[in-house]
Homo-oligomer: A and B are copies of this chain.
Amino acid sequence: MRTIGYHHGDLRRTVLDAAVEAIGESGLDGWSLRELARRAGVSHAAPAHHFGDKAGLLTALAAEGFDLLADTLREAGPDFLAAGLAYVRFATEHPAHFGVMFQPKLYRADDDAVRQARDRAGALLAQGARTVAASAGSEITARAGWSIAHGFASLWLAGALPMPPNTDPLDAARPVLRRLLDH
């Protein structure tokens, strides 16, 4: 766990964090592996040892993202509104992960770690979304719930929703998600 010397000690984590930061600043492709290496204070080829290539790094980020999402959903419980708000919260708190996760062409979506984490999040998601209306076709309902939460989160992150400044995304999302429940 040293921070200086030939062996960094925790390069993998450091580079992942640097990637998250860089993506947050400059978007999904406004950065370079070499820049991350510079931020971490290592040589330009060091990251390759841990991730192979750029897609490898993004694959690790996607897997981490699905894991974080699954944790968030698990904590929120099986209620639709709670799960939907948790989904939006995850997206706004981890925009870099969220952005990568749903851009499968950027990484290796068939990676084992990614697939496992995604399945775990998917199961929790379906469970939460299905509580919208137990009577109605649950597949359709699950898709509607996921769509509205994902759509709101995506539009929010894209800055497409005209909102007064300093609006809390969760406060904005709550009535929108509720529209699926009651009219």
The listed residue (B102, B137, B160) touching A158 by CB distance below 8 A is B102
Cα of A110 to Cα of B154 in the assembled complex, Å:
19
The listed residue (B28, B30, B106, B140) touching A179 by CB distance below 8 A is B140
* Residues from chain B with Cβ under 8 Å of A183 in the complex: 133, 136
- Among the listed stretches A7-15, A43-51, A141-149, which one makes contact with chain B, having 4 or more residues with CB under 8 Å of it? A141-149
Whether B136 pairs with A147 at a CB distance below 8 angstroms is: no
Decide if A2 is an interface residue (CB 8 Å cutoff).
no
- Which A107-157 residues sit within 8 Å CB-CB of chain B? 109, 132-133, 136-137, 140-141, 143-144, 146-152, 154-155
How many copies, total? 2
- Which A83-124 residues sit within 8 Å CB-CB of chain B? 102-106, 109
Cα of A104 to Cα of B180 in the assembled complex, Å:
28
Whether B102 pairs with A179 at a CB distance below 8 angstroms is: no
Whether A176 pairs with B133 at a CB distance below 8 angstroms is: no
Give chain A's interface residues, CB within 8 Å of chain B. Answer: 26-30, 102-106, 109, 132-133, 136-137, 140-141, 143-144, 146-152, 154-155, 158-161, 172, 175-177, 179-180, 183
